[in-house]
Structure 1
Amino acid sequence: MSDHAAPPATLEFVSVAPAAVPGLRGGSAYRARGLEAGVHRGLPSTTLTTIFSLDGPVLGAWDEGALGTSAGSRADLVLAGMHTAPILIDQPTHQEGIQLQIDPLAARTLFGVRAADLVGAFDGAEVLGRIGRDLWERVGDSAGPRERIERIARTFRTWCADPAARAGRVRADVAEAWRLVLASRGRITMDTLAGQVFLSPRQLRTEFAREFGLGPKSAARLTRFEAALATIAGTVHHERSPDLAGIAADVGYADHAHLTREFRRFTGASPSAWIQEERRNLQAGGHGTAQD
């Protein structure tokens, strides 16, 4: 029996500037060693999740019992659409890669599909085919995070410049509706939104869901949750206790209880339970809190 203690876990995050990669809203290069194996919650967001995993495939499932089985999903290149419930991700003791949050308006240009076509997707190689596998290999051959990010950025710029690979254009009124939902942080009413883009409420719901895979009301609720989550994550990153009642009021929830209900809906846990689960990641720079 060894008397040597195991080395402490290390987590490293390097943020990716949104301007660096076409369609990017946020992202980071990550590297972790010595983690405790477990299950991580992949939270809903208003972005498409793209992961280049360079230290073994990502294993995911909607039910914990399916993780690592044929009922679950596994991929070295993950490309997932928006969802409104957490996806469970196997957390190994070591991991390394690049995670990007892509705006759904860029899906047609970058990936040749609508954001709605990615709902339920997981394996990016199945969506992108050979070009996706080639990019994953080139990223893996890169010397470090900065070179990896630059290779992704160059490839995405090439894809954007290829009109033959595009899946048409997002309707202008639907794209504007999406931008208005984000700009209001989910606080715009559906009647106001429909009026702003000159669609009937029914037309708005139909065309919005056809493009993004969820309706405008769900998108607004998700946007509001995302604003609360970002504030909570940033507060914990700076080693302060979040004022949940104040955050609830700031992002448009009726009260602290309303925030907690919505948080449970999107994460499967209360805010305090989620903070406890993710504290180490948050303090190290995960969930968009990484610094350059």
Structure 2
Amino acid sequence: MPGDSETLLRRYEFVTPPSRLPGLVASATGYQSTGNPIGLHRGLPSPYLTFILALDDAPIIGAETPDEAVRPTAPRAEVLLGGLHARPAYVVQPRDQVGMQLAVHPLAARRLFGPPTRELTDLLGDGTAVLGSGAARLRERMAEAPTWAERFDLLWDYLRRRVEATERAEAPPPALVEGWRWLARFGGTGSMDGLARHLGYSGRRVSQLFGTELGVSPKQIGRLFRFDLARRQIAGDIDRTGRSDLGRVAAERGYYDQSHLVRDFRQYTGTSPSGWIAEEFRNIQAGAHRSPEDSPA
């Protein structure tokens, strides 16, 4: 256990203002921490595309396994992209770090970046090219800005110009947008038969819609919604009371029982709920797990 002096040296700051591109960017969180224990951070699956922008001199180092992440050959990037995935990614946590993390709606990929989410579904990758030719300069200007307010101004202005430049991009099929909203409305607990009936399509046609644009099935998206909401509910409980009733969370989020929730946690985080809580306790207390929006435009 760290001593009192080491604990006092740690500082955690998370800033999450409302999105200025609702329906496209679910959330943008600025973070700054000092005195971290050097180790690995688990990047967890979610129903959103994740971008991490380093705003300091250290590159982001991440890989698909813990062993790969700590090797000298581990991929390094100033902008890291995490696509839709069903297992944790591992990012090296330096002692001090400053950056920004975006949660982007998968159905907004064409409007913001050009290619559909289907082409961005690798577990981890360099996101600089995806953000456009001005991404490197954007990151530099954000790093130089003295306040979070100015950094967010630069970000939203850049992304808004990206949307304007791709205004003629092909929109996702309306049925797919409605299917996403239906899954979000039920927090991933709606059945696939219910989704097909709602859209008036066969189950096979619904799967084709999701696969063509997103590269994953509607069932996978539903499971990600359910897990993401359960994880955030647990974090909210811990923030308010210091504990969470996993049985209650499982029941409220549509799991068969607590064991079912634990199995999902092990798949998506690589550890148990209690193990994840122990790892993330300080980040939770500092406000790192606020919920993004869940409805595309």
Give yes or no for TM over 0.5.
Answer: yes
What's the CA shift string for 1:67-111, capped at 9, x where partnerless?
154753221112221111000110110100111111112111011
Q: Does 1:182 align with 2:184?
A: yes
Q: Report whether the alignment pairs 1:150 with 2:153.
A: yes
**Aligned equivalent of 1:116:** 118
Show the 5 A alignment for 1:67-78. 67-69=69-71, 72-78=74-80
Map 1:1-292 → 2, pairs under 5 A = 5-6=5-6, 8-19=9-20, 23-55=24-56, 56-69=58-71, 72-120=74-122, 121-163=124-166, 167-288=169-290
Please say if residues 85 and 121 of structure 2, whose CA atoms lie closer than 8 Å, have aligned partners that are also in contact: yes
Contact residue 86 and residue 268 of structure 1 kept, 8 A: yes
Amino acid at match of 1:47: Y
Moved more, 264-273 or 7-16: 7-16
Residues 114 and 167 in structure 1, CA contact (< 8 A), matched pair in contact too: no
Q: Distance in 2 between the 1:47 and 1:231 partners?
A: 17
Distance 1:263 1:68 in 2: 23
Q: How many residues align?
A: 286
Structure 2: which amino acid aligns with 1:160? V
Q: Provide the secondary structure at the position in 2 that maps to 1:25.
A: strand
TM-score by length of 2: 0.90
Supply the AA of the counterpart residue of 2:213: E
Q: Percent identity over the alignment?
A: 36
Q: Alpha-carbon deviation of 1:117?
A: 1.2
CA distance in 1, matches of 2:291, 2:224: 19
Instruction: After superposing the two structures, state which structure 1 stretch, 268-277 or 8-17, moved more.
Output: 8-17
**8 A contact 2:33–2:97 mirrored in 1:** yes
Which digits, 9 at most, give the CA deviation of each residue in 1:94-148, with x for residues without a partner?
A: 1001111111121110111111111115211132342222222222222221111
CA deviation digits over 1:22-76, x for unaligned, max 9? 6221231110001100011100001111111112111111111211547532211
- Residue matched to 2:295: none
Q: Tell me the TM-score normalised to structure 1 length.
A: 0.92
**Structure 2 CA distance for partners of 1:187 and 1:100, relative to 1, 3 Å:** same
Q: Which amino acid aligns with 1:43?
A: L
Unmatched segments (≥5 aa) in structure 1: none
Q: Is the 8 A contact 1:239 1:283 kept in 2?
A: no
Given the superposition, is the C-alpha separation of residues 242 and 173 from structure 1 closer, same or farther in structure 2, using an over 3 Å criterion?
Answer: same
Q: Distance in 1 between matches of 2:281 and 2:204?
A: 42
Question: Is the CA contact (8 Å cut-off) linking 1:22 and 1:157 kept in structure 2?
Answer: no
Preserved CA contact (<8 Å) 1:16 1:29 = no
Structure 2 portions without partners, runs of 5+:
293-297
SS of the residue corresponding to residue 116 of structure 1 reads: helix
- Give 1:150 shift: 1.1
User: Counterpart of 1:130 in structure 2: which amino acid?
Assistant: S
